[in-house]
Structure 1
Amino acid sequence: MRISTLTVALAALQTVAAHTVFTTLFVDGVDQGDGTCVRMPMTPSNATDPVNDLASSDMACGFDGTKGVARVCSTNRAAKLNFVFREYADASQPGALDPIHKGPCAVYMKNVKSAINDPATGDGWFKIWDEGYDQTTSQWCTEKLMQNNGVLSAQIPDNLAGGYYLVRPELLALHQSDKNPPNPQFYLGCAQIFINSTATALPKDTVKIPGYTNISDPAVLFNIYTLNLPYHTPGPGAYKSGVSATVDTKPVEQQTEGLLPSNVVLTNANWWAAELNSYSDQAGCSNASETCYGKAKSCYDSSPPTGSKNCRIWEQKCKDIQTACQGNQLNGPPNKGKILTPPQQSGVELPSPSAASASPPYASVSAGSPASSAASAPSPYASVAAANPASPSSSVSAPNSSSLQVSQDGQCGKDLGQACKGSKFGDCCSDKGWCGSSDAYCSAGCQAEFGVCGQSQPTGLRRRDMRLAKRVRIYRPYDDSPEGS
């Protein structure tokens, strides 16, 4: 029996950002994975946009932040948390935040009954750390963040009761706060965690979000150009273990939500897949193939803007099963029980303990984070880059024909007379005729006569053009049939 390839029409967006978004959580130096346990915007076109309405529910955990994700990350008492902010959610380009975005940073927490189901809005929030303008170094907190390529760090207060929490890193850009009307820009998200602790304290004093600040607050209207110091950060003072007033509560003894089942073989952000059931005949093989592709679709559908690269690994597993079925190899699934999740590779290199203690609360990040592709691939089901990688090459010559024009709308190919080299959407022309910069555009099937192939990191792109491209929505339906071009 031939299992038909699933055809999925997806709105794949070339994510080019001028702002920033919280993408990745580290717990005591351990990378939890891009998007894992993180509430973040699910639409690539606005993933890095600021929250401008200070009275909206988006102030709690950002766009789409009232909806929880399926994973909850476990932490120990007084754990150190690192929050990675990126200008490009999928790390397809380096950068944390545009240098003109200057202002304070903060980290808030909220004790909740369910980290997955709590809507995040309302009372119960308390600040655990903040920094505004450092008069010693003449730097805003965001400038320090940019120097460290986007990592913000804070330690969980030692006496917080064990249980579920939302943790909310916040950046405030004040570069347009002096305008009329003023435009303070908040960049934030939330991590879902469980603290394993027998401690019993919760802060007595909490604030509402939205509500802890408003458009009349001097902290959000501060003019960074006249710099009339001192500057006071928005919101309450930071909670201090053993100092701030507390109330006693019974700690939650054991985490019961957001954990991975023991038989999981692959994860992507907050999606996971358990191993397929064994089979030994044609019907079982066919059922396993269809089940596998169904899970692949759910992986792609649920992928946040940080990427869907591990969905490709699962899709390759489905292809292997389908090939085995067609070849009458009916005992499976192949490589049953093999863990497919690769080591976490968010590109973040945290400092040694001595370095961290020398300059808290920041950590350093290595340049050149690897790209993932949920936001940029024309179709996850179309991608063959993972299974058939292109031959390495440092460069490919640009099209010889002088009649080709640089693509201004993201499309490329002979019929259009357009090439991608120098396009704001990326230098590579995919087999489906779209300009881009990730592996899905630059590897297998890439049209070398209409762009650059074999290098997923575009060269020579101007940041101004990349920011302009971010504001253009391109919907790219994919023709999955053998005749698709």
Structure 2
Amino acid sequence: MGIVRISPFIAALTAATTVAAHGHVSHIVIDGLFYQGYDPTSFPYQANPPTVVGWATSQTDNGFVEPNSFANADIICHKSSVNAGGHAQVAAGSSISISWDTWPESHKGPMIDYLAACDGDCESADKAALAFFKIDEVGLIDDSASNGFWGSDVLIQNNNTWLVQIPSNIKAGNYVLRHETIALHSAGSANGAQAYPQCINLEVTGGGADVPAGTLATELYTPQDPGILVNIYTTGLAYTIPGPALIAGASSSVAQSSSAITATGTATVPGGGAAAPGTTTAAGTTTTAAAATTTAAAATSTAVVSTPTTLATSTRAAATSPTTAATTTTTTAAAATTTAAAEVGAQSLYGQCGMDAGKNYAGPTACAEGTCKSWNPYYYQCVATA
């Protein structure tokens, strides 16, 4: 049977029905610790939104940045982005599991990750001065599949989760992780590509001595780049991933898997402490004078990714995905300091709550205000009732 290609017209109609399904990064997991991301669909409407590791943005519709805006500030960390109030710590050489709330299958395209070193705290860094270097990229993997098998398809197969490795050779310090997918379903027309940049503050520990040269986000792409203006509905496509080349020491990608969550992490604010007492933290809980120390043993579980056996080679480093399934790996997390959950009574708004499916949590099961919402099998949170 020949390759079945859907016309751009039909694809556009399909895309129109999935606009509401555009996603955002809901949380990240580092060594078993769950860190909440910025939720553009709810945080802008809250009087006191949580302090999280993800940058704030104004795309309340889970929207995108169009190519005509690639030269302005919206492409840095999404529309009207504002520095995250806290950061998460990760060791150089370790991997970060980045989870999206959803992603539409029709929005095929590459997965790309960058880092930018901050001159001081990333919480107060000038976003326009951040110079990003590329640490990860996966574009078109198999052109023989219907409309191609892309990095975004791997994201979807891995439960809307992307695993990215922090290069072991970069110097310890504060960095902004710029995680991005570019939807190409309408990219055959001028200004048709859709960029979805997401930014996260990190403190990288250990590592080597490299601080690679970077590129300002406003100079990463142009609307005419072959990886931006491209018709993905043609056969024999040789796709060029946009942006600069990978830095030395970076892998084009790692075997994709899902990280088990063993505890809730708290965004660290400048100066090294957790959010001040009485304010909300990354997990939406209220901090106390003393934090409980939890040792998390994090087992990284494997998600089966049925990647086609024939891989297409891009003009950049090709993504050699597993033929049948990602390799099962196990990692042990270092001891982590987390905020103690309320011991008795009902949980406050945006605090963690416990349901039957909530694992590794023994705090309040009921909410004093709102309802207990499941973000994933391991984390439930009291949220305002619509």
Q: How does 1:142-221 map to 2 (within 5 A)?
A: 142-179=152-189, 181-197=190-206, 199-204=208-213, 206-221=214-229
Deviations along 1:347-401, one digit per CA (max 9) or x if unpaired, are xx9524999x9656999xxxxxxxx998xxxxxxxxxx822789xxxxxxxxxxx
Counterpart residue number, 2:64 = 50
The letter for the 1-side match of 2:134 is K
* Structure 2, gaps ≥5 residues long: 1-18, 39-51, 252-267, 306-320, 330-347, 351-365, 372-382
Give the direction of change, closer, same or farther, for the CA distance of 1:361–1:30 in structure 2 (3 Å limit).
farther
1:223 aligns with 2:196: no
The letter for the 2-side match of 1:109 is L
Determine the C-alpha separation between the residues in 1 that align with 2:57 and 2:165: 25
Determine the C-alpha separation between the residues in 2 that align with 1:361 and 1:59: 34
* TM superposition score normalised by structure 2: 0.60
Q: CA deviation at 1:144?
A: 1.4
Deviations along 1:454-473, one digit per CA (max 9) or x if unpaired, are xxxxxxxxxxxxxxxxxxxx
Could you tell me whether the CA contact under 8 Å between 1:73 and 1:258 is conserved in 2? no
The DSSP-based 3-state class of the residue aligned with 1:189 is strand
Determine the C-alpha separation between the residues in 1 that align with 2:23 and 2:269: 32
Q: CA deviation at 1:236?
A: 1.2
Determine the C-alpha separation between the residues in 2 that align with 1:258 and 1:189: 24
Could you tell me whether the CA contact under 8 Å between 1:153 and 1:362 is conserved in 2? no
The DSSP-based 3-state class of the residue aligned with 1:236 is coil
1:102 aligns with 2:108: yes
Determine the C-alpha separation between the residues in 2 that align with 1:70 and 1:228: 46
Determine the C-alpha separation between the residues in 1 that align with 2:141 and 2:30: 27
Q: CA deviation at 1:439?
A: 6.8
Q: How does 1:443-454 map to 2 (within 5 A)?
A: none
Q: CA deviation at 1:151?
A: 0.7
1:85 aligns with 2:91: no
Counterpart residue number, 1:387 = 368
Identity, % of aligned positions: 21
Deviations along 1:28-83, one digit per CA (max 9) or x if unpaired, are 3422234331113256x33x101112112111111232x21221111112120111
Counterpart residue number, 1:119 = 126
Determine the C-alpha separation between the residues in 1 that align with 2:64 and 2:105: 15
Give the direction of change, closer, same or farther, for the CA distance of 1:156–1:137 in structure 2 (3 Å limit).
farther
Counterpart residue number, 2:343 = none
1:140 aligns with 2:150: yes
Q: CA deviation at 1:260?
A: 3.1
The DSSP-based 3-state class of the residue aligned with 2:122 is coil
Higher strand share: 2
Give the direction of change, closer, same or farther, for the CA distance of 1:273–1:30 in structure 2 (3 Å limit).
closer
* Structure 1, gaps ≥5 residues long: 1-15, 87-95, 244-254, 277-336, 364-371, 375-384, 391-437, 442-485
Counterpart residue number, 1:457 = none
The counterpart of 1:71, out of the listed 66, 74, 86, is 86
The letter for the 2-side match of 1:78 is G
RMSD: 4.0
The DSSP-based 3-state class of the residue aligned with 1:226 is coil
Determine the C-alpha separation between the residues in 2 that align with 1:149 and 1:354: 10
Higher helix share: 1
Determine the C-alpha separation between the residues in 1 that align with 2:207 and 2:140: 36
The DSSP-based 3-state class of the residue aligned with 1:168 is strand
Deviations along 1:395-442, one digit per CA (max 9) or x if unpaired, are xxxxxxxxxxxxxxxxxxxxxxxxxxxxxxxxxxxxxxxxxxx8714x
1:18 aligns with 2:52: no
Could you tell me whether the CA contact under 8 Å between 1:39 and 1:64 is conserved in 2? no
The letter for the 2-side match of 1:440 is T
The DSSP-based 3-state class of the residue aligned with 2:35 is strand
Aligned residues: 271
Give the direction of change, closer, same or farther, for the CA distance of 1:210–1:192 in structure 2 (3 Å limit).
same
The DSSP-based 3-state class of the residue aligned with 1:260 is coil
* TM superposition score normalised by structure 1: 0.49
Determine the C-alpha separation between the residues in 2 that align with 1:233 and 1:351: 29
Larger Rg belongs to: 1
Q: CA deviation at 1:109?
A: 0.5
Deviations along 1:3-52, one digit per CA (max 9) or x if unpaired, are xxxxxxxxxxxxx9321112212213422234331113256x33x10111
1:351 aligns with 2:351: no
The DSSP-based 3-state class of the residue aligned with 2:137 is strand
Q: CA deviation at 1:164?
A: 0.4
The letter for the 2-side match of 1:120 is K
The letter for the 1-side match of 2:224 is S
Could you tell me whether the CA contact under 8 Å between 2:168 and 2:207 is conserved in 1? no
1:128 aligns with 2:135: yes
The letter for the 2-side match of 1:130 is E
The letter for the 2-side match of 1:107 is D
The letter for the 2-side match of 1:177 is A
The letter for the 2-side match of 1:22 is V
The letter for the 1-side match of 2:368 is A
Q: CA deviation at 1:130?
A: 0.2
The counterpart of 2:54, out of the listed 38, 47, 51, is 38
Q: CA deviation at 1:198?
A: 5.4
Determine the C-alpha separation between the residues in 2 that align with 1:242 and 1:350: 21
